[in-house]
A and B are shown apart, each in its own frame.
Chain A
Amino acid sequence: MTETQKILVLHVGLIALLFALNFILPAYHHGNLARVMVLATYAIGYNVMLGYTGLLSLGHAMFFAAGMYGMALSIRHLGFAPAPALLVGIASGAGLALVVGLLALRTAGVAFMIVTLMFAQTVYLTILLAGRWTRGDEGFVIQQHERVLWGIDLSDPSSRYLAALTLFAICLFATLNLIRRPLGRVFVAIRENEERARLLGYNVFRAKLFSVVISGTISAAAGASYGLLFGYAGATFATVQYSIFPLLWVLLGGTGTIIGPFLGALFMFYLIDLSSGVTNAYMLIAGVALVVLVMFAPQGIAGELRRRIWSWLP
C-alpha cells in the first residue's frame, strides 16, 4: 500500500467510523461526539496556523465568535434562512481574518501572540458594547424553527450529528488536500525556516496571510455551525478561554497532524467530563494531564503515533 493510500484509508476510515457511530452510540455520547466534531473543526482551523505555518495565535476565539455572530445576528435581525446565515458567518470570519492578518502579520513571535490577543479582546468588548443587538454577555437563543436547513431540523439529534460530521469531514479533507499542495508546502517551509523560504523566493507575507484567512474561515465555519446546531450565541465564546482551548486541543492531539485536532478535542472533552464528576478541581486534572503529555509525548497523541508507528501520518 502506498503512502497516499494509507493516508486515505486512515482518514476515510475515521469518517466512516464516525458515520457508523451515529447509529450505535448511546444518546449522551452521540450528543457529545456531535459537539466534539464541531470543536475539532475549530481546532483544525487553528492547526493550519499553528501546526503547519508556525503562527501561534492567542486570539482565535474572535474568528469562532465572528462566525457565530455573523450567522446568528443575520437570522435574528435580518430574518435570514440558515443557509445564507451560515455563509454570512463564514464570510464574517474570513473578512475579519483578512483584516487581522494584514495588521497582525506585521509583527512576529511574541508580539504576534499579543496582537492577536488584543484583537480578540476588542471583538469580545465590541460584542458586549453592542448589547442592543447582541444581548451582550447573556447572548440569545436561535429558535428551533430558525434552525431548519433545507427542510432538515438541525435540533434533531441525528441531523445535528450528521451535519457536524459533514462539516468536520469537509474541513478535514480540505486541510489534508491543502497541505499536500504547493501552498501547504510553503506553509510548512515557513514553519521550518521562514528566512530560507523567503530566500527561495516565496512571498512569505502573502503565504502567511493565506494561512490566517484559511484558519479564520474554518474557525468561523465552526463557530457558525456551533450556534446553528446548539441554538445559542453568546459573548462567552469570544473570551480568552475559547482562544486557549484550540491551542490545548492541538497541542494534546498533535500539532501539524490532520487528525490531531480531533484526538485532542475528544481527549480533552472526556477528560473534563469524567474528572468533573470526581472533583471540582477538574481543571487541575486537565492541567496535570497536559503536563504529563508534554513530558512523555511532547508531540501530542498523533505526533507520538507518527514518531513510533505511522511515519507517513500527515
Chain B
Amino acid sequence: MSKSSESKSAVSRRSALKTLGLGAGAAAALPLWARYSSAETAAPIRIGFQKHATGIGAAYGRWYDRTSQAAVRLINEAGGINGRMVELVTEDDGTDPKRGAEVIEKFATQSNCDVAFGTLFSHVVVGSAPRAGELKLPYFVVSEGHHVASGMLNRYTVQPGITDVKSQVQAMAPFVSQNLGKKVTMIFPDYAFGHDHRDFFTAAIEAQGGEVVGLIPIPPTETSFTKYFPKIPRETEVIYHVMVGPGVLTFVKELGEFFGPSRPEIFGFIDSLEAVDLASPGLEFLEGTYFWEGNPRYAQPDQTEYDKHFRAAIGIDENGASINDSKDVSTYAHMFGCWETLYVIKAGMEAAGYAGPQDRAKLIEAVEAITTMPHSNEHPQGAKVFNGKTHQVFGPQYISKVVDGKLMVVHTASIEDGMYPDEVDYTTQAL
C-alpha cells in the first residue's frame, strides 16, 4: 500500500515536472503575438486618454481633460457602457510624436486599455497612429487634422467627434465671398497647418467665384509682423488669418496699428485665440471682425438645452470660461470633440456588444456603420454625419462676429457646406 502510494507519488512528481517542463517549453515557444492579447474581464472599460498635459498643447490638454472627465462621469452615472463602468487612463504625451507613440504602446500592452482617445495636435496623431494600427488598438482622435480623411493613416484610426480642417475651411468660403468680399489675402504660418489653410481655402474661394490676391506666409520663428503688412495688396477686400502660438497677440496688435480705423474685412480662425480672453489688452482691434468657431464660446441668445447641459457638466460660464475662474478661458471651439467622441465610443461599443479587446475589430466596424448623429446632449455642438469609409465626421460650422468684445454667431454653415469627395476607403483595409 505504502509502496503503491510512493510509486504513485513518484509518478505524479515526475509528471508534474514533465508538465512544468512542457509548460516552460511552450511558454518559450509562444509566438510573440500571444503577448499582445489580453483576457476579457468584468473590470471597467479602460479608455486611454493621450493628453497634451505638457508642451505646446497644454492649454488644450487641460480643457480636453476636463471635458472628458465630465463626459465619463455622466456616462457612468447613466450606467456605463454595456453595464461596465468607464475609466479614463490618462498619460501625458508632452505634445510630442515620439512620446505619443510610446503612450499608445503603453495603453495597448501595459495599461490594458480597450481603446485610445483624445489626441489633438496633428504631429502627435500622425506619429502615434502607425503604432495604434500595428497594435490593432482603436484610436479615436480629436484633432481636426485632415490626416484621417486624406487616407494617410489606417483602419484603426477614427475621427468621429470633430470635423477636419478641409471641411471647416471649405464651409467658410461661401460666407466670406458673399458677405465680406471676393478678393482675399491670406496670412498664415509657414508650416503644415498654415499650408492646409492656404491650399484648401484657395480652392474653396475660387469655387465661389472669389480669388486669393495675396499669400503671406509667416516663418514659425517670427516675433514681429509689421514688416509683412505692406505686402498686403491694396485691392484686398478680406484678410484671412490663421496665426497661432504665443505671437498671436502681437500679430493682432500690430495689424491694428498698421491699418488704424480704415481696414478691410478681417476673418480668422479662433484657433489663434483659444484659451485667450478676448478682453486681453491689444485685442480691441478685433471688434467687428469675424471668426470661425467650432462651437460658439459665448452662450448665444438662442442657446440650446444641449449647450446648457454641456456647459453645466464641465463647469463653464456663459462667456466660455471656468465658473471658478473667469480668467481661465476654455478651448470651447474644439473640446466638444472629446465629449462627442466618448459618446461615439459608447454607441460603437454598445452596437458591437463589446466585451473586451478581442472585440476591437467589431468596434471599428460598428463605428464605421454609424451614419448620423442627432443634435442632442451627446452631440451638443450640432447634428453630425459620419463617413464610415473615410473615418471622418462632418458637422455644422459657426461664424461669429466680435461685438462688444464677445463672439456672436452670425452664420451657421450647414453640414453639406463642408462635405467633399472621399479620398480613401478604409473599409477595404484588413482588420
Contacts and interface: CB of A to CB of B under 8 A. Distances in A.
B271 interface: no
Interface stretch (B188-196, B205-213, B226-234, B285-293): B188-196
Interface residues of A, number: 41
B36 A234 contact: no
A235 B35 CA distance: 33
B109 interface: yes
A131 B110 contact: no
Nearest to B51: A280
A229 to B, nearest CB: 10
A176 B145 CA distance: 46
Contacts of B92: 276, 280, 282
A25 to B, nearest CB: 9
Contact of A137 (B32, B123, B154, B219): B123
Nearest to B96: A236
Contacts of B315: none
A141 interface: yes
Interface string A270-298: 00010011001011000000000000000
A231 B131 contact: yes
Contacts of A26: 35, 109-110
A77 to B, nearest CB: 15
A155 B190 CA distance: 33
Interface stretch (A29-37, A88-96, A102-110, A306-314): A29-37
B129 interface: yes
A23 B191 contact: no
B134 A138 contact: no
B192 A135 contact: yes
B102 A138 contact: no
Contact of A131 (B91, B102, B105, B195): B195
A32 B105 contact: yes
Contacts of B126: 135, 138-141, 232, 234
Nearest to B199: A132
B101 interface: yes
Interface in B112-130: 122-123, 126-127, 129-130
Contact of A23 (B28, B131, B147, B190): B28
Contacts of A140: 126, 152
B32 A157 contact: yes
B83 interface: no
A280 B190 contact: no
A128 B98 contact: no
B53 interface: yes
A129 interface: yes
Contact of A144 (B35, B91, B109, B134): B134
A230 interface: yes
Given A26-B109, A137-B123, A138-B193, A280 B53 contact: yes
Contact of A141 (B54, B153, B190, B192): B153
Nearest to B101: A230
Nearest to A147: B130
A35 B105 CA distance: 11
30 contacts: A27-B32, A27-B36, A30-B32, A31-B105, A128-B190, A128-B191, A129-B219, A131-B190, A131-B192, A132-B195, A136-B191, A136-B195, A138-B123, A138-B126, A138-B145, A138-B191, A138-B192, A141-B129, A141-B130, A144-B154, A155-B130, A230-B130, A230-B131, A231-B130, A231-B131, A232-B101, A236-B98, A236-B127, A273-B102, A280-B53
Interface of A: 23-24, 26-28, 30-32, 35, 125, 128-129, 131-132, 135-142, 144, 155-158, 230-232, 234-237, 241, 273, 276-277, 280, 282-283
